[in-house]
Amino acid sequence: MPAARRRTEGFEDCPDDEKRLICRVCSDGPASRGVVSFLRTSKASHLRSEKHRKAAADVAAEASMTQFPDSGRFKPAKLSFIDSLHLAESSQARVPSRAVQIDPFQDVLQFDDGFFTPDGSPMVFSAGVDPENSRHTNEVKIWEQINRLTLLQDHSIFGEVGDGDPDSVDGAFSATLSRMGIQDESDEEDNNFDFAGECAEREEADWFPHGSRTMFMLDLLDNLPRLRLSDDHLKAIIWVMRECKTPRVPTFSALRKKQAAMTREVDIETRHHTSSLGNHFYMNHPSKLLALDWANPLVRPFIHVYPEVSGPVEEFWQAAKWTSEIDLDQLSPMWADWDDVSRRHQHFYIKELAQEANGSYVLPMRWVTVAGVVHVDVHNVKFVRREAENAIFDIDTTMHRRIPAKLLQSNYLELNKSFAVKFTGYSPSYQMPNPLREKARGRPMFRLRIMPWSDDVSGNVSKQYNAHTNMYVTNLNLPHKKLAQEYFVRFSSTSPHASSSEQFVALGDDFIPGVWHDAYDCQLEQEILFEVMPHVLPADNPQQSENSSHIGMAGNFGCRHDLVGGTTEQRERDEGYHALYSPGIPRDREGTIQTIRWQFWAACGGNKKDLDASYSQSGVKDKIAQFWIQKLMDIGRERRNTELTDPKTRDSRLNNPAVKGDAKASIRLEIIRRIQQELWDWVITQPPESYSLLDRTDPARLDLRPGVHYNILLNTQGVDPHRDTTTEILHTFLLGNDKYVWHDTTKQWDDKKENIFAARLAAASIAGLSIPVPRPRYLVQYKNSLIGKHFKMLQQLGIFYMHDLCTPLLFELWKATGELGALLWFPQIKNMEQYMADIKTLIANLLDIWGQIDPRRILVKGKLHILAHLVDEIPRFGPAILYATEIFECWNAVFRLCSVFSNHLAPSRDIAVTLADMERFKHVVSGGWWKNADGKHVQGGHRVRTFLTSNAELQRRLGWASEAAAETGMYHLPQQQLTRSVTALLGTVKLHSVAKQAPGSWSATMNGLSLLEPGMQDSTVWVRCKHVVARSGDICKDGGWVFFKKTEDSDPLAGRIEKILTRNDKQTAAARNNSAVVVVKVFTIADIRDSRLNMPILVPSIDEYERHCLVQPKEIMFQFNAQHDCVTCGCSTVSVPLLQERIVTERMELQIKHSEQEHFILNMHALHNAHLIREVLPRNLSAPIPYLSDRVATHSRLAAQLRETGPAKRAETRAKTQATRARNKQDKAAQILAQARRQEQERDHSGSEDERGENEFEDLIR
């Protein structure tokens, strides 16, 4: 251990910088202007400086006047105290004098090598004043006045220095000092005492770019996503910091200027946009935000740039759209051997000739990843002949093969140096070298795919709605475990005026083909280019209809994906009704665009009836187009009135009495067609600002333009809004099907049934479910106001407690809901074919049971039909949780806080700027790189860039979790454990607190269990552990259900943890883990399912000697959930006192008393580890069972019922509607009559008062 650094009296270490010292004499003296610090190597020059000598003289003078008025009385104590200080420095031990022991300064406090009076004031000691360095009294007073003036300037009450011109302020001070004959020393040493000079000197120091720890901490407080502070909060914090003598506290204005400067330098620009509808909003463009990912050392290692074609499907880049559908020119175009520094400059591009190490020639077509290794799909190329300097090749496109990319030895540029590359006439034509090389200019090129999300969000935290339309994006080249963290959600834009369709137009600026964005790749340590394009469009159903230019689910053709639907009568036919249970003929973008064009043409002709018919019969209704269509209708109506109807202005031929019949109709038709064409010619030139930017030869000048006249997503590369608006399980399943099931179940409940269900749910076990403790009383009290998290919990537990509380069909529906939900939340799919067969069966079961309960439900609830499209979407995009939107819904809380603290004058700009600052802070504190004003790539100082990784509190507040924490849930562990690999944490145990360890011998700990002590001595003391980390990363505690192995090669077993033990001695964590054992009670899984719940049965092992076993922590596989079979075991309901505020009351509530019979059900509706459970169980215990054997016949029967009941129901509905309208009409008439009577009474009353006033006036005159 190095020796401690010896301090000198009057000096102390600088808390911000260990290389610097603080001079207490200069800092605390009467003329001090703040904390004075300097480099340790400059201490000698500082002691010789004029300013230090003057400060020492001032302190001595002040001490002689105020501290020691009676010098005779205090002289001995002073000398003895000073002697004691010298004694501390002396190498010889001396006994302190008695005078020190009775010194009146015995109450002086010492803290951090400083001395303070009992009231907290710092004490400075001096041996006296050097006469040679004394200053005149008037000069001292001048410095004091200057110091007070400086403090006055900085005081926020009187204004801030930062609010004015710093040059003018400094100039005034300098001029005043010159006229008084007082000048600051201008030598280099004196710059250590100037605040601004000190910040400039330390620009590249530990707290760069903030310049000081205080500035960094204030910036941190201002950029915590879920702990937003108002300007007044920050001003109060700054004021308190100053009162606490915190060094280098900036003014509020200086903080804001610094933040704006840092955001500009990191290059996060908030751009203004004006939509074609005339709405203004601001946007942080995804290209700028994604560039931060490349330059962030915490993010860059996780960016996956090539599709993965092997292994299970758990990410977007492993699903069919990315691996099979995307055009080759929309994937990353090049590769280089980044691991070999000598080959990083050797770039291989697709569709360029290359040579393998064995000498054969190939044509790379696509870069893919196989088991983590980059491969390339190639066409074989045959060398034909040599003609002079030309080499002739032939490309064989009939077959392709896949080879490791590292087998490529020479790229096209290297080959072209040896000979001119030519190809035979029947080879496909590819431009070589690849045109992208010219754009790249030696820089690597990649393509990123993103997931934009948009929705309407309230800008208020309260219930009062404050409509905003928001847009967020995430980088789909990152794994889902990262994207599920709030740290990785990127705010793009918001507007209370502009719709998502308008904001997508601005977002589309980043998606233009051929537009490449530059970034700094911190892993490759060089600049790169990347292209951005959307991949999937998740949102709630109304928003996805808008994204698809669709009328919505209330229309006759209510599906945005396909053409299923029709009028009510058409859907009640056998074929129409059956079609609702499966995906139909898919919509296509070109067909939608043609329909929109026709709607524009119809609007130009003023035919509203045809327009309404088009909306109804096609299901196409574009939000941007509606703006222009309404304008065309209004303008056309006015034009037709002027030219066809009004006798004063219409065409003179129509005023001719001789023109009649067909001739007149022909003239009218001619005028209508002319107006129609003129309106078309007008609308395609709108708005003039964007039309004028088009080149005169651009064909877009002659047609409707995407983004201007209709939805830009219909023409955006990378997405098809009909196919890529994926089924979102939060809004479609939890807030759709689950909500319908819960409502149909509870709408008939009385108070007794509600109390029974609440009591049963309160007795549920949640171990292995990863959900919070249920609140049963809340659920039944507010049963019609539940949200997604409540339905997710009910979906997993409800079926166990619904016996005798619902009809048999509803019970079957609860089973179908839970079975399908468990599969939809799979995080990983290993066998896609089997998985999709199960999904298809379970969706069919769910819809068929709904048909049995209410045949009309699928006609009026479009979400049920939307579920059928999961069969097509999961193979294309991967598990449904990848495009679930819970993370965006959670992030809305951050937006709302920013909205509440915005200026409300320009909310779009203010919120975008605030969140741009937040992105900048996250980037800088993560160690991210950026290009400074000098064009150099820099990153934050050492203290800044390590603050996040070493501070678990900041990680939590920024919504970031390390890989280990994300895998194991161990967020409470120290950072040195968090940064380890996940593997290092698996199989480890954590001790209980000392009070709960219960140390004891093996026999005492076992409580009668006949288990042999694992190779230890009888004298060994064992203690209890809090949990063990399973192989899956689950935190398993006592009472938890787990699958485990007795030995590494044995078959999995199911059991319940009873105890987790380890030796009680001073051993390392590794030794403690090696000695730990888990006592597990073994349960047998029956080979048949429970007939009521359709789930596996768990009973204790029959063999008494095998009923308990010791398991090594590393053999715990994963956790699962099991529920006590209360129906079979006959668990009773009892009344117990109700707890309120942790106090036992006299009120009673129901509670379930479980019987001692150990009969459990393995919860197959659990979402956590659902995929692992089905891997372990035999197929006969997990395979779905079809509900109907002949679906078509059943659907035909249900359709026949609808044809019988439908007309009567519609007639009843029409009658109710007419009655309601008549009643409303009568009520309105009554209101009008009552208002007229009140007005008449008021007039009569006013008239009588006027008459009475006139009489009084006449009496007064008389």
Is pLDDT above 60 for 956? yes
Most confidently modeled of 832-846, 1142-1156, 1248-1262? 832-846
Is pLDDT above 80 for 59? no
User: Is residue 899 within 8 Å of residue 460, measured between CB atoms?
Assistant: yes
What 1086-1094 contacts at long range (C-beta under 8 Å, 24+ apart), as own/partner pairs, is 1087/1178, 1087/1180, 1087/1181, 1089/1181, 1090/1125, 1090/1161, 1092/803, 1092/1127, 1093/799, 1093/800, 1093/815, 1093/1161, 1094/815, 1094/819, 1094/1164, 1094/1185
Distance CA 819, CA 1031 (A): 25
pLDDT of the residue at 479 = 97
For 588, what's the count of Cα atoms within 13 Å in the CB-facing half-sphere? Answer: 4
pLDDT of the residue at 965 = 45
Q: 326-335, 592-601, 1130-1139: which range is least confident on average?
A: 1130-1139
Q: How confident is the model at residue 1136 (pLDDT cuts 50, 70, 90)?
A: very high
Q: 837-846, 881-890, 1105-1114, 1165-1174: which range is least confident on average?
A: 1105-1114
Q: How many residues does the chain have?
A: 1262
Q: Specify the higher pLDDT residue, 789 or 979.
A: 789
Task: For the chain, give the percent of residues with pLDDT over 70.
Answer: 83
User: Which residue in 682, 684, 687 sits closest to 705, CA to CA?
Assistant: 684
The token duo for 1084 is: 């047998």
pLDDT of the residue at 1017 = 62
pLDDT of the residue at 388 = 83
pLDDT of the residue at 659 = 83
Is pLDDT above 80 for 112? no
User: Is residue 1145 within 8 Å of residue 1137, measured between CB atoms?
Assistant: yes
The token duo for 707 is: 């983004």
Is pLDDT above 80 for 1168? yes
Per-chain mean pLDDT for the chain: 85
pLDDT of the residue at 580 = 97
Other C-beta atoms lying within 10 Å of the C-beta of residue 375: 22
Q: What is the pTM of this model?
A: 0.81
pLDDT of the residue at 1249 = 63
Burial of 1124 (0-12, 13-18, 19+ CB in 10 A): buried
Is pLDDT above 70 for 167? no
pLDDT of the residue at 1262 = 55
Is pLDDT above 50 for 1119? yes
Q: How confident is the model at residue 33 (pLDDT cuts 50, 70, 90)?
A: low
Is pLDDT above 50 for 180? no
Distance CA 723, CA 716 (A): 13
Q: Specify the higher pLDDT residue, 635 or 69.
A: 635
pLDDT tens by residue, 648-679: 888 888 888 888 888 889 999 999 999 999 99
pLDDT tens by residue, 811-824: 999 999 999 999 99
Is pLDDT above 50 for 919? yes
User: Which residue in 754, 569, 728 sits closest to 1199, CA to CA?
Assistant: 569
Sheet bearing 109-111, strands edge to edge: 109-111, 114-116, 122-123
Is pLDDT above 50 for 89? no
Q: What is the DSSP string of 966-1008?
A: HHH--TTS-HHHHTS-HHHHTT-EEEPPGGG---B-HHHHHTT
pLDDT of the residue at 545 = 97
pLDDT of the residue at 304 = 97
Whole-angstrom Cα Rg for the chain: 39
From residue 921, how far is each of 207, 218, 579, 890, 995 by CA, in Å? 13, 11, 53, 21, 42
Is pLDDT above 50 for 1244? yes
Q: How confident is the model at residue 182 (pLDDT cuts 50, 70, 90)?
A: very low
pLDDT of the residue at 1261 = 56
Most confidently modeled of 130-144, 568-582, 1101-1115? 568-582
Q: Is the dihedral of CA 121, 124, 128, 129 positive or negative?
A: negative
pLDDT of the residue at 406 = 95
Helix (H) or strand (E) holding 450: strand 445-458
Q: Which residues pair with 529 in a beta bridge?
A: 445, 518
pLDDT of the residue at 78 = 34
Distance CA 862, CA 884 (A): 19
pLDDT of the residue at 977 = 34
Is pLDDT above 50 for 747? yes
Which pairing describes strands 334-335 and 348-349: parallel, antiparallel, or unpaired?
Answer: antiparallel
Is pLDDT above 70 for 53? yes
pLDDT tens by residue, 187-245: 333 334 454 455 446 545 789 999 999 999 999 999 999 999 999 999 999 999 999 99
- Burial track 1047-1067 (b if 16+ CB lie within 10 A, e otherwise): eeeeebbbbbbebbbbbbeee
pLDDT tens by residue, 132-150: 444 444 544 554 554 444 4
pLDDT of the residue at 1214 = 87
Is pLDDT above 90 for 452? yes
- Distance between first and last Cα of the chain: 115
pLDDT tens by residue, 380-405: 999 999 888 889 999 998 888 999 99
Distance CA 250, CA 300 (A): 34
Task: For the chain, give the percent of residues with pLDDT over 90.
Answer: 67
pLDDT tens by residue, 474-527: 999 999 999 999 999 999 999 999 999 999 999 999 999 999 999 999 999 999
Is pLDDT above 60 for 611? yes
